[in-house]
Amino acid sequence: MGRRATAVLISGSGTNLQALLDAARAPDYPAAIRLVVSNRPDAFGLERARRAKVPAVVVDHRAFAAREDFEAAIEEELRLAEVELVCLAGFMRILSAEFCARWRDRVLNIHPSLLPAYRGLRTHERALSDGVAVSGCTVHFVRPELDAGPVLVQGVVPVLPDDDAERLRRRVLEVEHRCYPLALALQATGRVRVGDGGVVDDARPGERLVLHPLLARLAANSPSFGNEPG
């Protein structure tokens, strides 16, 4: 199987786009980033695409009276680039049910929480308010429901006592940049499939979870870790 032609849809700075561009530089990576689409003309991710010599276009949602017309313009760009797979990387527009149906199981999204927890915005603030011990990110197949769809890869990070939302955001972002290239590779190679119970990886079912190195260090420094009580 050749490298799968992939488009990345962005709205902002594009750090996850950069992670995908960096991964795709390896000749044995199974996906090639063929197009970057931004709905915002000022998105810095467009500059990242230019530096990587990847074609980039702006499809400004404000220029369209209806979402259907906006999505049709995006799909025309995908068609011209002969795109097979799509990655949403900080793309701040909700795709219609019709778009999701046409591209079913070919669109990935990354979200900064361990879905199904904390769908939507302000994920880090909400995690800190609830006092959770771990947080993380999720790469999932896109469905019409917000931040829903079968989970492909999750990355787990610790929540530390002195965390604020910005510290936690940066820690989660570290694993986002590892999870997204892994998820796209799994999808592009055809190793994974969406079954009735979620995503199935028949070859290596335990490989999709990514743990933050700090979790291992915290466990190693805990005298009670691994000991049964009593």
Angle in degrees, CA 129, 135, 141, rounded to 5: 120
How far apart CA 6 and CA 86 sit, in angstroms, is 6
- Could you say which DSSP state residue 43 is in? -
Q: Residue 74: name the closest of 90, 89, 93 by CA.
A: 93
Contacts of 8 (CB under 8 A, 6+ apart): 14, 17, 20, 33, 35, 36, 37, 45, 86, 87, 88, 89
Amino acid (1-letter code) at residue 213: P
Report which secondary-structure segment, H or E, holds 153.
strand 151-158
| Per annotation, catalytic residue among 111, 124, 177, 212 | 111
Angle between helix axes 165-189 and 15-24 (nearest 10 degrees) is 40
Does 111 participate in catalysis according to the annotation? yes
Which positions are annotated as active-site residues?
111
